[in-house]
Structure 1
C-alpha cells in the first residue's frame, strides 16, 4: 500500500484522510477510530499481538511495527509504501 504519511502523536487531535498511512510511536485502544480511515500503519514499537497490528489485521490494513525513529524520519505528506507481508516501509 502506497500513500501519504500522516505522523500522529495525539490521537485525540489527529485528522486522517482516506489513503493516509498512519505513523505513530505506538497505539492503544484510544487510537482505534483512526484505523477506520488509515490505509496502513507504521509504529516504532509493538509486538505481533500488540494493539496496533491486531487492530490493523481486523480492519484488513497492512502494518509494519518496530520501525526505529519512524516518527522522526518520516514526515507528514511524504509518500511511503508499507508492505506488511515483507515487513518493509519504503519512503519515496
Structure 2
C-alpha cells in the first residue's frame, strides 16, 4: 500500500494514497466518492456518499443535504463549501488540487476534515 502525499499532481492513485488539502469542517467520514461537475445534473447521491466537486456556490447547496462529506478542488476557510459544511456538520476538505480528476467516481475514500486529508481506501 502506498502512503504518499500528492500535492496537485495528477497520478494514478493506489489504495492508501493521501491527497493533501485544507481542513474545512472537522470530522472524519468514509464513503463512496461521487464526482459532481454540475449541480443541475448530479449523479444519484445517497446517504453515505461523499461529494467531490470542482467548487461550490449557492446552486450546490441542496446537494449537501444528500451527502456525508465534501471534497472540492479549490476553496478556503470562507468558501461556500466550508460555510455550508460547517452549518450542516459535514466533514469537508477544500483546496484538494484536481480532486475531481484524481479520485474515481465510486471509489471509497476517507475525508478527514480535521487534518485536511483525503485518503483513497479502494478504487471502484
Give me the TM-score of the superposition, normalised by structure 1.
Answer: 0.97
Unaligned runs of 5+ in 1: none
Give the 4+ runs in structure 1 shifted more than 3 A.
none
Match of 1:7 among 14, 32, 35: 35
Q: Return the offset for 1:83.
A: 0.6
Distance 1:42 1:12 in 2: 18
Q: Return the offset for 1:16.
A: 1.2
Q: Return the offset for 1:37.
A: 0.9
Unaligned runs of 5+ in 2: 1-28
Task: Identify the structure with bigger relative contact order (alpha carbons < 8 Å, sequence gap 6+).
Answer: 2
Q: Return the offset for 1:41.
A: 0.4
**Higher helix proportion (structure 1 or 2):** 1
Distance 1:11 1:19 in 2: 18
CA-atom RMSD, angstroms? 0.6
Q: Return the offset for 1:76.
A: 1.0
